[in-house]
Amino acid sequence: MRIVRTVAEARAARASLGRLGFVPTMGALHAGHMSLVALAAERCDAVAASIFVNPTQFAPHEDLATYPRPIEADLAKLEAADVALVFLPAPETIYPNGFDTRIEVGAIADRLEGAVRPGHFSGVATVVAKLFHIMGPDIAFFGQKDVQQARVIMQLVRDLDFPVEIAIGPTIREPDGLALSSRNVYLSAAERAEAPALHRGLRAAEEAYAAGTRDAATLRHLIEAPIRRTSGMIDYVSIADPDTLEEVEAIGHRGAVVSLAVRFGTTRLLDNVILG
């Protein structure tokens, strides 16, 4: 496994790798990230990953300074998975002195997470565009757990004609249903015991949808009920069009993305399911 830290090194190393699968990450790797590495290995000649905690997608009050950075453990996991290339840039490599350009994706980035975290998806889109430009992947792999992020990146690629296929891997969960996230380590023991309520609510919506329920308000109530029995504070529960992420009153033939964000103490958890 080759580790590179500069743009020139990354481009030179990528040139010999053939059809490349790319997994961009912020580190603190877990089984969800590694499932994307495995998908990339199945579909490509070689796999590259990046580890970069991107400062432009954090608001001033968020956890940039304390975000977990177990770099040696992360590199060991990637090496064990036969990743060929790891891009490990410093912030000043991605954002050199005088950097003053940002990408704004539009309406799809202003909803849900974008409404709660203004500027977040501009930071995501800007860094992903730079990483695609530097690494030149054929396919880039993202997880469904961050469903809005995946949709924003698909919009970015379509609108700016990036020659990159976007592949979405399924959400990987703990045995009790909690979606894997690097931020789960912040949960106290009591909060960790309550957190699977998110998945229970989503499963209730899936079951009701399978039984014929299409009314969004009814499904939203089913999702919220188990969460309201915990200490979690609901930021939003969304039932939205799968393409635009606009809220719907009833689910039509195209189905819906059902997503939520819940705070346990200072930890903010996301989850979602796709209906239809």
200 and 139 share one domain: no
127 and 223 share one domain: no
Residues 6+ apart with CB under 8 A from 124: 54, 57, 149, 152, 153
Domain of residue 215: give its range: 182-271
What's the confidence (pLDDT) of residue 21? 98
- Asked if the structure places residue 132 within a domain, the reply is yes
What's the confidence (pLDDT) of residue 55? 95
- Asked if the structure places residue 176 within a domain, the reply is no
- Asked if the structure places residue 223 within a domain, the reply is yes
265 and 226 share one domain: yes
**CB-count burial class (<10 Å; 0-12, 13-18, 19+) for 167:** middle
Active-site entry in 30, 33, 133, 199: 33
Residue at a domain's end among 140, 169, 198: 169
Pull the structure tokens for residue 158. 């379509």
- Asked if the structure places residue 175 within a domain, the reply is no
134 and 195 share one domain: no
- Asked if the structure places residue 276 within a domain, the reply is no
The CATH number of whichever domain residue 215 belongs to comes to 3.30.1300.10
197 and 78 share one domain: no
121 and 241 share one domain: no
DSSP letter (8 states) at residue 169 = E
Q: With 90 as the cut, is the pLDDT of residue 181 above it?
A: yes
Q: What is the pTM of this model?
A: 0.95
Question: For strand 85-87 and strand 46-51, is the pairing parallel, antiparallel, or unpaired?
Answer: parallel
What's the confidence (pLDDT) of residue 63? 85
What's the confidence (pLDDT) of residue 61? 83
Question: For strand 46-51 and strand 165-169, is the pairing parallel, antiparallel, or unpaired?
Answer: unpaired
CA dist 1 and 62 (Å) reads 33
Backbone angles phi, psi at 244, to 5 degrees: -95, -15
Residue at a domain's end among 169, 197, 222: 169
38 and 164 share one domain: yes
Determine what percent of the chain is predicted with pLDDT higher than 90.
97
159 and 188 share one domain: no
Pull the structure tokens for residue 246. 């606009």
pLDDT band for position 212 (cuts 50, 70, 90):
very high
Average pLDDT value for the chain: 97
Pull the structure tokens for residue 82. 């036969």
76 and 145 share one domain: yes
The CATH number of whichever domain residue 97 belongs to comes to 3.40.50.620
Backbone angles phi, psi at 4, to 5 degrees: -125, 150
- Asked if the structure places residue 21 within a domain, the reply is yes
pLDDT, tens only, 50-91 = 999 999 999 888 889 889 999 999 999 999 999 999 999 999
Q: With 90 as the cut, is the pLDDT of residue 254 above it?
A: yes
Residue at a domain's end among 169, 201, 216: 169
What's the confidence (pLDDT) of residue 175? 97
Q: What's the domain count of the chain?
A: 2
pLDDT, tens only, 149-167 = 999 999 999 999 999 999 9
**CB of 258 closer than 8 Å to CB of 273:** yes
- Asked if the structure places residue 145 within a domain, the reply is yes
What's the confidence (pLDDT) of residue 227? 98
148 and 232 share one domain: no
**Is 33 considered catalytic here?**
yes
> Higher confidence at residue 40 or residue 61?
40
Pull the structure tokens for residue 150. 């995946």
159 and 186 share one domain: no
The average pLDDT across 166-182 equals 97
- Asked if the structure places residue 158 within a domain, the reply is yes
119: left (phi over 0), alpha (psi -120 to 50) or beta: left
